[in-house]
Structure 1
């Protein structure tokens, strides 16, 4: 009988070796060519290796980011989720230890009016589940993977928060530039309107030209009001990110911002270590892997050892005080017999969820590569547009000046030509401000796409 039992336990242990296997990254996960064929990524240097304070050198922006990291409610919620995961991991580790409880008991009994009998039992009991088939091990490893997932989520929220604050700040600077351009344009056009009104008095222009100039001035003044509203709205959005009530945001100017002239992306393999959302996806895959192992463990017996020790004065018919020692030990083995259908279904579900987690992990890699490509293209394209914007604005300024002088000294040039040149110049100046912000935004998006700002 002893040999049969030993053989059975040995066979079960050998069959359950698979449930102890630790997680390893699947071979089908590839990073080659993740950035696309148009980006040659061979150098391991990456902009993501910079601390956010090295990239965003504006001290006012640095102050805003620090306030956001300290007070943002979403980030604080993510930090609390890490605390919850740490507690869960602690609980799974303590599951290896026996559970001990104290259960004192006292009774009073009397039969048919006889003398009351007083008995008591003061004992401590313990129960210990042997982890022969990986149930507790998989639970602990799954809890550790959940902790890594929570930490990665916290870092993902942090990197997104830094990128959002920086984007919002530079968008605010861009709105300031556009507001200044419109205000200067309004002043210039107001002067032009006064000049036209004087010319009309001397018969050198028409009422239609004066009214057209007035209408254009009103359009610019309307744009000023709209931009002022957008500035206030952007300030409120930044205050919300900082966990603060709406307030004025101290800021610099768009032209004084300094950034690297070249941006390096590093090799795609670095995304696995730097991007927190990818680490979160892989931690989720590891958690699903261990959940599958736990589902396999359900097919094997559960062995529990227990016992109690203490004192009692009830040892049969005699009543003794103080009490005598009370010792007991018990072992139990529970093996599933009629719930295998449920265990099989649970295993199939766990395998399917593990495959879902693998697909999500692969998709997160593809998404990361696409975001890197998009951000780099945005930065490069905006940089080339800025070079053209500068040349266009210089040409339009000369055009405005030339047409204004021709209108003042020649009857062949009408105010409509001056108006067209002024409107083109205004549009080009606003476009330059937008392209300047677009270039900065491309850099921020690239920094975020590469996993920068997670530390």
Structure 2
């Protein structure tokens, strides 16, 4: 007679193991966001008025502040068609799938097993079979479960979720970087348009000066050197115009690639450079940091590395495996599922690693060092963010003053050109003075355009 108490004890033991598994702990440190360098305000130059942030938030589509419909359309295409963004988005989807696959480790696996074999037992084996030939057919459901007693799977899920969040922020960081690059390339192209317009006007003016000098030579009031100077000035301007056209083509090609188009199939008609650009309002540093996806990426990477420490620590504890199967076994499939052919088993296995030549300890040291590395990277990214803002604030103030000075210089050069031309026509100065003043004016105008782009 079977002992009912043995079965009851086995079942109660299994229930106890299940309860223990479901209430398992998580080894390893709980993540705490790393401290980072902070600042309550940005340092701005003396006398520079800081824009108020009240009621003037920076929009998600920050490029709309420039009020350029062409730029608006191009920026949208970056998000839709840029292949680097598509790569990052695919990587994010991969990391999301990895989270789901890791979560599956919390649950048991269930499978259907079937087998058919024909066998002959040895007549001289340990168990005498007299050379018996027999069939062995079976079908069964099999289940296995490795309870997450020490939180290894849960820490892995935590690590992969943080990595997925980092990848999501990386998509945003990549998109922001490429949209910024597009804006830079776009305004470089518009700068080239403005320089081309200046050079074309200069070519026209230099051509008139050459014609005037040739006529003056006919009347004996200009020398051959004056004609040569005028020709040199004209051809130099034409060469500069060609250089700018080449540079514009390169910017146009770069924009085409950013929006996912073949350069030969993309054209932007020339347009003049705008007169001014909006200044985005300054925010306090903590708000700025919240808006930078590269900082969010670094912080999530630190969270993932912290969880990996728990995964490494869990390897020092025993693993419990629960398994069971229920099915039928018979010498023929015809009566396989008859009640007497039932068989089942249920059991558990506990394994405690004792010696691995330092493998687990090395993995733990690696995980801890990896966390330290991500924390240092996070703090460095924050410092770099502050540096970027401070650099641009300083550049903004300096360039604003420089543009004002350059505009005054251009006005003075323009007046000098008029006066020198009058003096040349009256014969009080030679043509070299005209060339010098015209060249100075053109150089000043190009410098002003370049400063406005910056």
TM-score after normalising by structure 1: 0.86
Residue 78 in structure 1 maps to residue 88 in structure 2: yes
Partner deviation per Cα, 1:183-205 (whole Å, 9 max, x = no partner): 11011011101111111111111
Partner secondary structure for residue 39 of structure 2: coil
Show the counterpart of 1:234: 251
Q: Distance in 1 between matches of 2:259 and 2:61?
A: 20
**Contact 1:309/1:327 (8 A) holds in 2:** yes
Given that 2:160 and 2:304 are in contact with CA atoms closer than 8 Å, whether structure 1 keeps it comes out as: yes
Whether contact under 8 Å (1:20, 1:137) holds in the other structure is no
- Structure 2 distance, partners of 1:287, 1:310, is 43
Matched residues in 2 for 1:134 and 1:202: separation?
100
Instruction: Determine the structure 2 residue equivalent to 1:100.
Output: 110
The higher radius of gyration belongs to: 2
Identify which range, 215-224 or 241-250, moves more after superposition: 241-250
Q: Is the 8 A contact 2:26 2:155 kept in 1?
A: no
Residue 422, structure 1, aligned to residue 438, structure 2: yes
The count of corresponding residues between Structure 1 and Structure 2 is 422
Any conservation in 2 of the 1:139–1:294 contact (CA below 8 Å)?
A: yes
SS in 1 for 2:27: helix
SS of equivalent residue, structure 1 residue 192: helix
Shift of 1:104: 0.7
1:122-181 C-alpha deviation (Å, 9 max, x unpaired): 111111111111101110000101101110111111001110111111110000000111
1:214 has 2:222 as partner: no
Q: For 1:251-295, what per-residue CA distance to the aligned partner results, in whole angstroms no more than 9, with x for missing partners?
A: 5634446632x4323122124421111111111111111111111
Q: Which of 236, 244, 249 lines up with 2:267 in the alignment?
A: 249
Q: Distance in 1 between matches of 2:266 and 2:173?
A: 28
Partner of 1:24: 32
Question: 1:442 maps to what in 2?
Answer: none
Summarize the Cα distance change of 1:48–1:335 in structure 2 as closer, same or farther, 3 Å threshold.
farther
The corresponding residue for 2:126 is none
Tell me if structure 1 keeps the 8 A contact 2:145–2:321: yes
The answer to whether the 8 A contact 2:190-2:273 is kept is no
Aligned residue runs from structure 1 range 45-444, under 5 A: 48-110=58-120, 116-246=133-263, 247-251=265-269, 253-256=271-274, 259-260=277-278, 262-313=279-330, 322=338, 324-339=341-356, 341-409=358-426, 411-438=427-454
CA distance in 1, matches of 2:206, 2:51: 54
For residues 82-129 of structure 1, give each alpha carbon's deviation from its aligned partner in whole angstroms, at most 9, with x where no partner exists: 110010000111111101122211122345797753231111111111
Contact residue 166 and residue 297 of structure 2 kept, 8 A: yes
Q: List gaps (5 residues or longer) in structure 2.
A: 1-8, 124-129
Which segment drifts farther, 423-432 or 113-122?
Answer: 113-122
Partners of 2:251 and 2:225 in 1: CA distance: 39
CA separation in 2, counterparts of 1:131 and 1:170?
57
- Indicate how the Cα distance of structure 1 residues 249 and 57 shifts in structure 2: closer, same or farther if over 3 A, else same: farther
Query: Normalising by structure 2, what TM-score?
Result: 0.86
SS at match of 1:130: coil
Q: 5+ residue gaps in structure 1?
A: 439-455
